[in-house]
Amino acid sequence: MARLREFDHDAVLNLAMQVFWANGYHRTSLNDLCEAMLLNRSSLYAVFGDKRALFLETIDRYGDRAVTRVSAALSRPVPIHDAAAGFFTEIVDQICARPSRIGCFMGNTATEVARHDRVVAARLRRHLGRVEAVFRDAIAQAKARGEISEHSDITALARFFVASAQGLHLIGQTTTDKAVLEDIVEMILRTLERQR
């Protein structure tokens, strides 16, 4: 086991996130975490606090990554339709590449934990709100460029895209049939096309 000062904080946090993501919060034990992170319990407690504190930190890590991923996809110098198509196609590719069908960490956490834990629910709302804001800004810029109608409801569209991404991940837990997932993406993008 690593000593307290002999590990990369970000790397072991990522390992913890993978364990929680694969197993869920309740089915993850401290032993699972210590084994995956190559830490003893005293080091884990000293750096991250208890299991719940570590879990909250992994939610923040995943949320930060989600915002970065969406920002990168939507900031490409292409029309909003093409940027959104690229983003949703990437989700489909990730689903089809993962044999374990683990879904979205935020979606899984919402289902398993958030209904019974107000702090976790608040964290998830904050991160989903940040993702929504990225979509809203990208759609607002597209509106300013004349790519969508001036009458389009930017906030409603942004919320629709966040919900669509979560739904796509959920369906991806039941199937990796690319044709099925691509049909869903096509319908999502048609909503954007109708805003022209």
Domain with CATH 1.10.10.60 in the chain: 1-49
Second CATH level (architecture) for the domain 1-49: Orthogonal Bundle (1.10)
Contact of 105 with 21, CB cutoff 8 Å: yes
CB half-sphere exposure, 128, CA atoms < 13 A = 20
Longest Cα pair distance anywhere in the chain, in angstroms?
Answer: 59
Domain 58-193 has CATH 1.10.357.10: yes
Is 60 exceeded by the pLDDT of residue 1?
no
Block residue for tokens 């993406």: 185
20 neighbors 28 (Cβ within 8 angstroms): yes
What sign results for the dihedral spanned by CA atoms 132, 138, 141, 143? Answer: negative
Please report the pLDDT score of residue 2 as a whole number: 44
* Residue 146: pLDDT over 70: yes
CA–CA gap between residue 103 and residue 22 (Å, rounded) = 9
CA–CA separation, 144 vs 130, rounded Å?
21
Q: What is the pLDDT of residues 100-114, one digit of tens each?
A: 778 899 999 999 999
Please say if the pLDDT value at position 57 is more than 90. yes
Contacting residues for 127 by C-beta, under 8 A, at least 6 apart: 59, 60, 62, 63, 66, 67, 106
Residue 4's pLDDT is what? 44
Closest by CA position to 40, among listed 16, 11, 4, 10: 4
Answer yes or no: are the C-beta atoms of 57 and 13 closer than 8 Å: yes
Tens of pLDDT, residue by residue over 7-21, are: 688 999 999 999 999
pLDDT at residue 133 tops 60: yes
Residue 38: DSSP 8-state = T
What residue ranges of the chain are covered by domains with CATH 1.10.357.10? 58-193
Helix (H, G, I), strand (E, B) or coil at 149: coil
